[in-house]
Amino acid sequence: MSFQGRHGVRQAERDQPQEFKVDIDVEVDLSHASRTDHLSDTVDYTKLRGIARTVIEGPPASLLEALAGRIADLALELPGVASVSVRVAKFPASMQPIEAAAARINRTRA
Protein backbone atom coordinates (compact mmCIF):
# COMPACT_ATOMS: atom_id res chain seq x y z
CA MET A 1 0.00 0.00 0.00
CA SER A 2 1.21 3.50 -0.71
CA PHE A 3 0.26 6.74 1.05
CA GLN A 4 1.53 10.31 1.32
CA GLY A 5 2.74 11.55 4.69
CA ARG A 6 4.90 14.16 6.40
CA HIS A 7 7.22 12.21 8.65
CA GLY A 8 10.91 12.39 9.43
CA VAL A 9 13.52 13.75 11.80
CA ARG A 10 14.36 16.80 9.69
CA GLN A 11 11.87 19.60 9.09
CA ALA A 12 12.50 19.35 5.36
CA GLU A 13 11.04 15.85 5.45
CA ARG A 14 7.87 17.20 7.04
CA ASP A 15 7.50 20.27 4.80
CA GLN A 16 6.50 18.32 1.69
CA PRO A 17 4.46 15.12 1.55
CA GLN A 18 6.49 12.07 0.62
CA GLU A 19 5.58 8.54 -0.36
CA PHE A 20 5.42 5.81 2.27
CA LYS A 21 4.87 2.15 1.44
CA VAL A 22 3.32 -0.13 4.03
CA ASP A 23 3.25 -3.93 4.12
CA ILE A 24 1.16 -5.66 6.77
CA ASP A 25 1.22 -9.40 7.47
CA VAL A 26 -1.21 -10.75 10.06
CA GLU A 27 -1.43 -14.16 11.65
CA VAL A 28 -5.04 -15.29 11.93
CA ASP A 29 -6.69 -18.67 12.38
CA LEU A 30 -8.33 -19.04 8.97
CA SER A 31 -9.76 -22.52 9.43
CA HIS A 32 -13.34 -21.34 9.94
CA ALA A 33 -13.24 -18.74 7.15
CA SER A 34 -11.82 -21.32 4.74
CA ARG A 35 -14.96 -23.41 5.27
CA THR A 36 -17.61 -20.67 5.38
CA ASP A 37 -16.27 -18.26 2.75
CA HIS A 38 -17.70 -15.37 4.81
CA LEU A 39 -15.86 -12.10 5.28
CA SER A 40 -17.19 -11.90 8.84
CA ASP A 41 -15.11 -14.99 9.69
CA THR A 42 -11.76 -13.43 8.81
CA VAL A 43 -9.91 -10.11 8.90
CA ASP A 44 -11.30 -7.51 6.52
CA TYR A 45 -8.25 -6.26 4.63
CA THR A 46 -9.90 -2.90 4.03
CA LYS A 47 -9.71 -2.33 7.79
CA LEU A 48 -5.96 -2.99 7.74
CA ARG A 49 -5.60 -0.56 4.83
CA GLY A 50 -7.63 2.02 6.73
CA ILE A 51 -5.36 1.69 9.75
CA ALA A 52 -2.24 2.18 7.62
CA ARG A 53 -3.75 5.16 5.83
CA THR A 54 -4.86 6.83 9.08
CA VAL A 55 -1.38 6.50 10.58
CA ILE A 56 0.62 7.56 7.52
CA GLU A 57 -1.68 10.48 6.66
CA GLY A 58 -2.03 11.44 10.34
CA PRO A 59 0.12 13.29 12.86
CA PRO A 60 3.84 13.39 12.06
CA ALA A 61 6.36 11.03 13.59
CA SER A 62 10.12 11.32 13.54
CA LEU A 63 10.86 7.62 13.05
CA LEU A 64 9.64 4.91 10.72
CA GLU A 65 9.73 2.64 13.76
CA ALA A 66 7.08 4.79 15.45
CA LEU A 67 4.82 4.62 12.39
CA ALA A 68 5.19 0.84 12.12
CA GLY A 69 4.53 0.48 15.84
CA ARG A 70 1.35 2.57 15.66
CA ILE A 71 0.04 0.49 12.77
CA ALA A 72 0.95 -2.79 14.51
CA ASP A 73 -0.77 -1.79 17.75
CA LEU A 74 -3.99 -0.88 15.93
CA ALA A 75 -3.92 -4.04 13.79
CA LEU A 76 -3.65 -6.17 16.93
CA GLU A 77 -6.92 -4.63 18.14
CA LEU A 78 -8.79 -6.28 15.26
CA PRO A 79 -10.65 -9.46 16.28
CA GLY A 80 -8.77 -12.64 15.46
CA VAL A 81 -5.37 -11.08 14.81
CA ALA A 82 -2.83 -13.09 16.84
CA SER A 83 0.31 -11.37 15.56
CA VAL A 84 1.33 -8.77 13.04
CA SER A 85 4.40 -7.73 11.09
CA VAL A 86 4.46 -4.20 9.68
CA ARG A 87 7.06 -2.76 7.32
CA VAL A 88 7.07 0.97 6.56
CA ALA A 89 9.41 2.38 3.90
CA LYS A 90 10.01 5.87 2.55
CA PHE A 91 11.89 7.09 -0.51
CA PRO A 92 13.21 10.60 0.22
CA ALA A 93 15.32 12.27 -2.44
CA SER A 94 17.56 13.63 0.33
CA MET A 95 18.87 10.11 0.99
CA GLN A 96 20.26 9.52 -2.52
CA PRO A 97 22.00 7.27 -3.49
CA ILE A 98 20.10 5.15 -0.95
CA GLU A 99 16.84 4.17 -2.60
CA ALA A 100 14.75 3.75 0.54
CA ALA A 101 14.73 3.58 4.31
CA ALA A 102 12.52 1.04 6.04
CA ALA A 103 11.64 -0.39 9.44
CA ARG A 104 9.82 -3.60 10.35
CA ILE A 105 7.99 -4.19 13.63
CA ASN A 106 6.70 -7.57 14.78
CA ARG A 107 4.12 -7.72 17.55
CA THR A 108 2.08 -10.47 19.20
CA ARG A 109 -1.16 -10.14 21.08
CA ALA A 110 -0.37 -10.20 24.79
Return the active site residues.
90
> Nearest CA to 28 among 50, 48, 52, 51?
48
CA distance 11 to 56: 17
